Amino acid sequence: MAMETVSTNKAFGGAQGVYKHRSSSTGTEMTFSVFVPSHAAGAKLPVVWYLSGLTCTHANVTEKGEFRRACAELGLIFVAPDTSPRGEGVPDDPAGAYDFGLGAGFYVDATEAPFAKNYRMWSYVTEELPALVAAEFPADMDRQSITGHSMGGHGALTIGLTYPDRFKAVSAFAPIVAPGQVPWGEKALTGYLGADRAAWRRHDAVALIEDGARLPDLLVDQGTADNFLDGQLKPELLEAACGAAGIPLTLRRQEGYDHSYYFISTFLADHLRWHAERLG
């Protein structure tokens, strides 16, 4: 299936679109959003990828992120994929829990039945969707960066650490920095990748850094009133890993902010300006 336009709306002089296509990675129809700022004919613009968190789709940041004004001013394309495959026959958490299955793909390629057939979000986000964006939008794929929230912050960190030459800037909001050490991650990585913890390390930002992955610098915002802070997020583990590895980390603990899009929308323009400086 070729890319199909679901909707387009003019915003800040640019175009906010929602699109769908048949994915060869997941075997399902996938929906994503793209904001393209106003630009000169023939121009190619840098791309910022935004990965969303548990229970979210492309729509959460598209509707609540308040990113378009900054993207229009900075000349940035903003791409927001979905968080998992969806549709009839796609397996879900047997108990219907929110933290596994639909809406909770964790940006990995599953190897365990019955999830291995459809849950291939790593390949989708790092290979298939970038190729589609490059073909359909005025995207300069030599100037890409990545950010995300919570589970999406985990995805942004692990993808950025794996492809440091591709992504010129990496940041995150309240990321799951060490999924191998917290309940959300242990459940998801066991379910998708199996019980061998060695297989988890390439999908764990702290483990990747311990194993030699490097970035020139890193920006993370974390709300101090986030109810997942101590049990699931543990930014101090990323702080320690970056310190030991010599990675310059700017970890901003934002007093009184929680895990919601009120927090993300407050600081997303800051991140976009930080990305723009590194994208050139």
Q: Which residues are catalytic?
A: 150, 226, 259
Q: Where are the beta strands (DSSP E) in 52-136?
A: 77-80
State the chain's maximal CA–CA distance in angstroms: 52
SS3 category, 171: strand
H-assigned helices in 96-150: 121-123, 129-136
Q: How far apart are CA 170 and CA 218, in angstroms?
A: 6
* Four-residue CA torsion sign, 33, 23, 168, 206: positive
Q: Output Rg (C-alpha) for the chain, integer angstroms.
A: 17
Strand-by-strand arrangement of the 218-223 sheet: 4-11, 14-22, 29-36, 77-80, 45-51, 139-148, 167-173, 218-223, 249-254
Task: Write out the two tokens for 15.
Answer: 């175009």
Q: How far apart are CA 171 and CA 144, in angstroms?
A: 12
Which of 83, 118, 120 lies closest to 99, judged by CA? 83
